[in-house]
Homo-oligomer: A and B are copies of this chain.
């Protein structure tokens, strides 16, 4: 676990990058809500965005700009998603990033906007424009945690993770900052993730690595099925630690580091689900294909009945098996085997009884455990992270206007 915590590791430096955050008056509670991540000059970039048809203005603008392959900075606000805001929303995203580009002295196409918060309200452009001079002058190499705090909405804690690896004789760093309170907030303009590294890589290599790393991490937490209007992950590489070329040992190390950082951030998001007390890793193995395994794992991970059973610490194999059965995965239920943290509760499709369930129920008291479903003897495997569904979820989502 490389997830960082402010008290133990307050300074996260990545050569070539600086960070700033402040309160611009977008959040009603007066907390920090505007952040900037800037490279010292234009750097290579890759990004992934929500697959929802309903896409926020900053997603449309960022996508167009990041696909060019170079970027200077990301301007992020919380408290307003700038989604379902029509042309004025696009204009607001363009105007605020234009102001940043003028202050930094670079083309506006090198500034990507990102927003999270309430959907359907116009961005308070004037407040943001007024704040930008102070924001840019506050840029400092050690401001990553300030950014992490400023982009929080319903998050309970800031999320920063880091991994390091060798590039030649140098040590390179991947630093990640994310926000999101998990799949229990699937359409609240949820997930933003920003990664910076001092390793160097071409935009094409960054894209390939980011796609694979996101599939293995953020797309395997239950956020996946519920892409929001604003989901955005941006990866920027300054290259100051030296170049990494495709198909080398270093490229593998860079990918491992990025996957590790995204994995830690993703797990932190799942743990932060409102009312969540348990994180379960759903593993499906022995499927006819990886796609089948993924279908089953996703259906189990998003089943409200499985998630409430987790909340009740109930090794309810019936709900898990029934979820797999309706997932579309092809398997013979008579061959199914289910273990919870290594304790077998179902074998050849038949339950082993109350005695066998006792140690499984005991394991479900833990904050983290693994539910492993074997569908058969096929080569397919997949996993998902999910959390339990508690009653505070209902309270938060019935009362909170996202």
Contact = CB atoms under 8 A, between A and B. Distances in A.
Nearest to A331: B53
A393 B185 CA distance: 18
B321 A398 contact: no
A43 B329 CA distance: 37
Contacts of A85: 350
A168 interface: no
A120 interface: yes
A84 B320 CA distance: 12
Interface stretch (A98-106, A143-151, A308-316): A308-316
Given A316-B402, A318-B119, A398-B309, A54 B324 contact: yes
A311 B394 contact: yes
Contacts of A229: 318, 322, 325
Contacts of A391: 391, 394-395
A305 interface: yes
Given A53-B331, A84-B350, A397 B325 contact: no
B350 A86 contact: yes
A281 B196 CA distance: 47
A119 B322 contact: yes
Contacts of A348: 86
A390 interface: yes
Given A53-B331, A321-B54, A188 B398 contact: no
A402 B225 CA distance: 26
B390 A84 contact: no
B314 A398 contact: yes
A16 interface: no
A398 B333 contact: no
Interface in A144-169: none
A323 interface: yes
B308 A397 contact: yes
A362 interface: no
A125 interface: no
The 6 closest A-B pairs by CB, nearest first: A312-B398, A54-B325, A119-B318, A308-B397, A187-B322, A53-B325
Given A52-B322, A86-B350, A187-B326, 9 more contacts: A52-B325, A84-B346, A84-B350, A120-B351, A186-B305, A229-B322, A312-B399, A318-B402, A393-B394
26 contacts: A51-B326, A52-B325, A53-B333, A84-B317, A84-B318, A84-B333, A84-B349, A86-B348, A120-B351, A186-B304, A187-B305, A187-B318, A225-B326, A226-B326, A227-B326, A228-B322, A229-B318, A229-B322, A305-B397, A311-B394, A311-B398, A316-B402, A318-B402, A390-B394, A391-B394, A391-B395
